[in-house]
Structure 1
Amino acid sequence: MSRNGHLRSTAPAAQQLRPLPSLDHAGLSDARLLPDADFAAYWDAVVLPNGDKNRIAQTAAAGFVLRRSIAFERLPLHGVILLVGPPGTGKTTLARGLADRLAKLICGPSQFAYLEIDAHTLASSSLGRSQQAVQQLFDTTIAEVAAGGPLVVLLDEVETIATDRGQLSFDANPADVHRAVDAALIGLDRVARTRRDVLFVATSNFPAAIDGALMSRADLVISVDLPTLQARKAILADTITALAEAYPGARRLLADDLLDRAAAVSEGLDGRRLRKVIAAAAGRNAVSTVDPGEITFDDLQAAIGDATNGAL
C-alpha cells in the first residue's frame, strides 16, 4: 500500500514486477500501478455532459498512439492534458479516473504506472531549492519510472510550479521561483522528446495564473465547469444510491420527481458540495442523525438551500 493508505494496484501479483518509487521522493504523493479499482471508481463517479468523458479518454489514447509512431518535430504533441475550472468540479477525480481508463484502452506488454505530484511541496522547498526540486522530479523520479514503461503523471494545481512569469516580479519573487518555472518547462520538453509513453494530466483552479508557455504545450485544454441540471441530478442520484446501500430507507429519495426538484434548486453548487449536502441533511433532525436513511426530502431541500446561500 502507498503511504496515504491507497492500494498500489489491483493487478494480479504475477504482474507486479514494475518498480515504483517510494513516496520519500520530493513532490511525490502517490505511486501505483494501473488499472486500479479505486481509480476505476473515480472514473465512474465523474459526471460530464454529452459524452465528454469518453471523448476525453479517447483523445488521450489517440495522442498516446500518435506519439509512438510520429516524430515530435512533425507532430509536436507534448503529452499534456490540462483540466481547468472552479474548485470542487472534479478535476482531480477526473484525472485519476482518466489514468485508469487510459491504461485499459492502451494495450501493451508493460503495465501502466501512475505518479501523483503535490506541486506545493516543490514550490515550498527551502529558498533557492525550488528549481533543484523540480529538476530532480523530472530528471530522476519521472525519468526512472518512465524507463520501465507507460506512465501517467498527475500535476495537481500546476500553476504552483508553472506560474505565469509575466506576473512575477524579481522584487517580490526570488529568482529561484522564475527558474523553477523554466525547469518545469524544460523537463516537460525533455520528456516529450525522449519518452513517448508518458502523459501529464495537469489541473488548475486558476488558469489565468498559468504561464503561457505551459498553456501552449497542452495538447488538450478541458474546462470542467459547474455541473449542469442533468449532471446535478446524476450526482445526487449517485450519492443517494450510495447512502441507500448503507441505509435502505433513503431509496425513497431516488424518486424521479424528487431528484428533479432537488437538482433544480441546486444551481451553482459544485459536485463536491452537492454530495456533501447529504450529510448536512442528515443532521437536520434527531431521527436522521441516528439513521440517515430517514432523511426527508424537506431536509434535503433545506440543506441544498443552505449550501446555495453559503451557509454550509
Structure 2
Amino acid sequence: MDAIVENLALPQPDFEVAWNTIKVDAGVKERLVAQSLLSLQLRQHYSFEAMPMHGLIVLSGPPGTGKTTLARGLANEVGKAVGKARYIQLDAHGLGSSSLGKSQKEVSKIFQQTIPEFAVLGPTIVLLDEVETLAADRQRMSLEANPIDAHRATDAALAGIDLLCRKHRNTLLIATTNYPKAVDRALLSRADWIEDIGPPNAEARKEIILDTLALLAKKWPKVEGLKSHVAAYIHASEGMDGRRLRKAIAAAAAISIETAKDLNKLRPEHVIETLKRAASQPDIQENAA
C-alpha cells in the first residue's frame, strides 16, 4: 500500500476550497465534471464492447497550471454528484523499482487487487499523478534505465485499466501529466477525455490576481487599494502559469526589506516590476526539455 499516498472519503471540504481557487478558462470545470459523470453513467448501462469507455480522464499541461489540484477538486465534485465516493491518490514513483520484475508486480497488484477492494464497497476515484512515470512511452524508453521492467510496468498498467473498466464500472481514473509526449500512446488512446490545461488567459489571471490580493489584504488592509491597477498586472503577467503568478504577487513585497516587514507599504509599481521580472524568467519546462 506504499503507493497510496491518500485514502479519503469524498466529499472533502478542503478539496472544494482548492477547486474554487483554481482559475481556468470558462467551461473547463463543467466539461470535466460532465465528462466524468457521463463516463460513469454509460458504463453502468452498456458493455465495454458496445460503448468502449475506460473511465479515464487525462489532464495535460505544463507544470504550475494546477492540474493536480484540479484533479482532486474534480474527484470531489464527482463524489458530491454520486452521493459519496472513495478517493485514492497513487504515487507513481512509489511503484517503480530497480529490481527486475518488481514494478510490474506492484502495478498489477494496485489495479487487480487494491483498487478493486475499494471498488466493491462503492464508487472509487483514483488519481494517477504524473502518469508518465507509471506508463512511460515504450517506444521512447532509455536503455540507461531498466527498459524491460519499465516496459512490463506499462503493460501492467494498461492491462489493469482494461480490467477495471470491464469488471469495476464504478471506478474513475483521473491522470495528470506534465509531459504528454512521455506517456505511452496506448494509455492516451484509452482516455475518455483529454483536457489540455494551459496557462490562464487574461480573465483567469485577473481572478488569480484579485484573489491573491484579497488574501493579503486580510492581514494588511492597504493592499486592497492595489486592486485598482489590476489591468496593468494582467498585462505584465502575460504567459505566466497560475502558480508562478500567485508567487509573484506575493514576492512583490520582497522589493525591499521595508515592504517585506509591512505589506501595507506595497505599491502598484512594485507589483508591476515584480510581475515583469517573473514573466521574463526562462520557462522551467523548456529548460527541462
- What interval of TM-score do these two structures reach, taking the shorter chain for normalisation? over 0.9
Q: 1:291 to 1:127 in 2, by over 3 A?
A: farther
Cα deviation digits, residues 103-152 of structure 1 (max 9, x gap): 11224xxx211011111121245443111111121122211111110011
Mapped contact 2:130–2:176 kept (Cα < 8 A): yes
Pick aligned residue for 1:80 from 56, 59, 62: 56
Give me the whole-angstrom Cα distance separating, in 2, the residues matched to 1:84 and 1:203. 6
Is 1:219–2:195 an aligned residue pair? no
Q: Which has the higher helix share?
A: 2
Mapped contact 2:233–2:272 kept (Cα < 8 A): yes
1:210 aligned partner, one-letter code: V
Equivalent residue runs for 1:155-174 within 5 Å: 155-168=128-141, 173-174=146-147
Pick aligned residue for 2:21 from 21, 45, 54: 45
1:42 aligned partner, one-letter code: A
Residue of structure 1 equivalent to 2:73: 97
1:261 aligned partner, one-letter code: A
With a CA cutoff of 8 Å and minimum separation of 6, indicate the structure with the bigger relative contact order.
2
Is 1:190–2:163 an aligned residue pair? yes
Pick aligned residue for 2:31 from 48, 55, 62: 55
Cα deviation digits, residues 51-101 of structure 1 (max 9, x gap): 221121112112211111221111010000001011101111110010111
In the alignment, structure 1 segments of 5+ residues that lack a partner are 1-24
Is 1:308–2:284 an aligned residue pair? no
Cα deviation digits, residues 188-221 of structure 1 (max 9, x gap): 0101101111110000011011111101100000
Residue of structure 2 equivalent to 1:21: none
Equivalent residue runs for 1:126-165 within 5 Å: 126-165=99-138
Q: 1:164 to 1:311 in 2, by over 3 A?
A: closer
Give me the whole-angstrom Cα distance separating, in 2, the residues matched to 1:30 and 1:187. 20
Residue of structure 1 equivalent to 2:286: none
Q: 1:311 to 1:214 in 2, by over 3 A?
A: closer
- The alpha carbon displacement at 1:186 in A equals 0.5
Give me the whole-angstrom Cα distance separating, in 2, the residues matched to 1:207 and 1:138. 22
Give me the whole-angstrom Cα distance separating, in 1, the residues matched to 2:5 and 2:122. 20
Give me the whole-angstrom Cα distance separating, in 2, the residues matched to 1:311 and 1:221. 27
Mapped contact 2:221–2:264 kept (Cα < 8 A): yes
Residue of structure 1 equivalent to 2:262: 291
Mapped contact 2:125–2:174 kept (Cα < 8 A): yes
Aligned-CA RMSD value: 1.7
TM normalised by structure 2 equals 0.93
Mapped contact 1:243–1:293 kept (Cα < 8 A): no
Identical-residue share of aligned pairs (%): 43
Give me the whole-angstrom Cα distance separating, in 1, the residues matched to 2:116 and 2:148. 26
Q: Which moved more, 1:168-177 or 1:266-275?
A: 168-177
1:213 aligned partner, one-letter code: A
Residue of structure 2 equivalent to 1:237: 210
Pick aligned residue for 1:65 from 38, 41, 46: 41
Mapped contact 1:83–1:221 kept (Cα < 8 A): yes
Q: 1:269 to 1:171 in 2, by over 3 A?
A: closer
Residue of structure 2 equivalent to 1:264: 235
Mapped contact 2:141–2:147 kept (Cα < 8 A): no
Residue of structure 1 equivalent to 2:287: none
Is 1:114–2:87 an aligned residue pair? yes
Q: 1:203 to 1:311 in 2, by over 3 A?
A: closer
Equivalent residue runs for 1:22-41 within 5 Å: 25-41=1-17
Q: Which moved more, 1:37-46 or 1:279-288?
A: 279-288
Cα deviation digits, residues 18-68 of structure 1 (max 9, x gap): xxxxxxx13111111111011001110111112221121112112211111
2:149 aligned partner, one-letter code: D
Q: Which moved more, 1:114-123 or 1:184-193?
A: 114-123
Q: 1:125 to 1:27 in 2, by over 3 A?
A: farther
- The alpha carbon displacement at 1:171 in A equals 7.1
- The alpha carbon displacement at 1:168 in A equals 2.3
